[in-house]
Amino acid sequence: MAFYKIEWKHSAVKELRRLPKRLVAKIISATEELTENPFPAGSRKIIGAKHTYRIRMGDYRIVFGVEDDTIVILRVGHRRDIYRG
């Protein structure tokens, strides 16, 4: 079974720091689980974006891309903000 490597974009790390502390541990745990299964139940492809997916965590979203054996965390934030350009 192949394991994927996780990379965080600098902007995603900044977004993570702005989130409520109670969510940060859950989000980090969810991203670490992606190393074993990059397409967990409930993940959805983002329409109009190539190799880009999202995971729901209540009202928050984790947007990530899958490139070969690497998962790049692109955005982390509240659902009202996450899809804005």
Quick: pLDDT tens for 17-66: 999 999 999 999 999 999 999 999 889 999 988 999 999 999 999 999 99
Please say if the pLDDT value at position 1 is more than 70: no
Please say if the pLDDT value at position 85 is more than 70: no
Q: Which residues pair with 45 in a beta bridge?
A: 53
Tell me the C-alpha to C-alpha distance, in Å, between residue 56 and each of 5, 13, 41, 69.
Answer: 21, 18, 10, 22
DSSP-derived secondary structure letter, 83: T
pLDDT score for 25? 94
Pick the more confident residue, 23 or 83.
23
Q: E strands, 3-45, where? A: 5-8, 44-45
pLDDT score for 65? 96
Show the domains of the chain with their CATH numbers: 5-82 (3.30.2310.20)
